[in-house]
Amino acid sequence: QSLGMAVGPTLAVVLTSLAFAESLFIGVAFCALALLLLVCACTYESHPKRLPETSAYRVRCERDIEGGAGSVSAGISREPLIRSLFVKSALPGAIPMVIACLGYSIIVNFTSLYAVGRGLVNPGMFFVFAAITMTVVRLGGGSLIDRISPARLYVAPIACGVLSLVLLANVSSEWMLWISGAAFGLSMGLAFPLLNSVCVKNTVPERWGAASGLFGLMNDVGIGVGALVWGAVADITGFVPVMYGGCAMLALSYAAALMLFPKG
């Protein structure tokens, strides 16, 4: 997920630099087609016994079969969509996530346009450095999440995110852009698995899928709403105040984490 968000803007820059203007939309269409094919390959509904024994879906299927329903399809959940997605126990990770993504959305959506406006010729390098540091921190971050309490560890991605935004607000050279990209990769690469782990570890095993689903939804909501809000603000004030607004969102995310994270 993090790598996709880092590589996506770079790919968009490459596609928009091609000879025909429609190349970006054609590229997105191919990505959507690939996603559709992968989704069609997910067949766990037809094989409930491959799921963990505590899986709510598997339990329902086995109960219905024992009760004479006669088919696995009878075990499909008919609970309301809101209830199936809303997992109260996952909110301690999901709420800081949506607030943080209101800050991250500025970087994801506007960095390329902003860097070009500041006279930097290769804004795609920002995301190259972000992808590198993100990969590194994701490979080694798991042990940190297991050994350090979430509230203490969350300081690191918040600090790196603020550093990235401050550097962007004052960027005047390529090297500042690269450092900002590296800091962004460290921030998002650690924040996403940390907050996801808070969602999951605070939830009973049979609702882990729903907890991860809520986490992903909050990510999308934050990125999408942030693009709309900060785009409107940038039209009025320019991008520099927007960057500092992103810092405020990250600080607010940490404040929410301090209040919501489980103790210990």
Task: Express each pLDDT in 119-167 by its tens digit.
Answer: 887 888 888 898 889 888 888 777 788 788 899 999 999 999 999 999 9
**Structure tokens, 201:** 């570890």
The rounded distance, in Å, linking the Cα atoms of 255 and 258 is 5
Q: Is the pTM of this model over 0.85?
A: no
- 3-class secondary structure, 263: coil
CA–CA gap between residue 9 and residue 12 (Å, rounded):
5
| 3-state SS assignment for residue 87 | coil
Tens-place pLDDT, residues 66-95: 765 544 444 444 555 555 667 888 999 999
CA distances from 97 to 64, 128, 152, 205, 206 (A): 37, 23, 16, 21, 22
When mean pLDDT is compared across 46-55, 103-112, 127-136, 239-248, the lowest value belongs to: 46-55
- Taking residues 19-45, what's their average pLDDT? 85
Judge whether residue 29 has pLDDT over 60.
yes
Q: Are 43 and 51 in contact (CB under 8 A)?
A: no
Confidence of residue 207 (pLDDT cuts 50, 70, 90): confident
Res. 259: pLDDT tops 90: yes
Taking the C-alpha atoms of residue 87 and residue 263, their distance in angstroms, rounded to an integer, is: 19
Distance CA 85, CA 88 (A): 10
Residue 23: pLDDT band with limits 50, 70, 90: confident
Q: Whole-angstrom Cα distance, residue 184 to residue 182?
A: 5
243-255 core/surface letters (b: 16 or more CB in 10 A; e: else): bebbbebbeebbe
Binned at pLDDT 50, 70 and 90, residue 194 comes out as very high
pLDDT (average), residues 189-195: 92
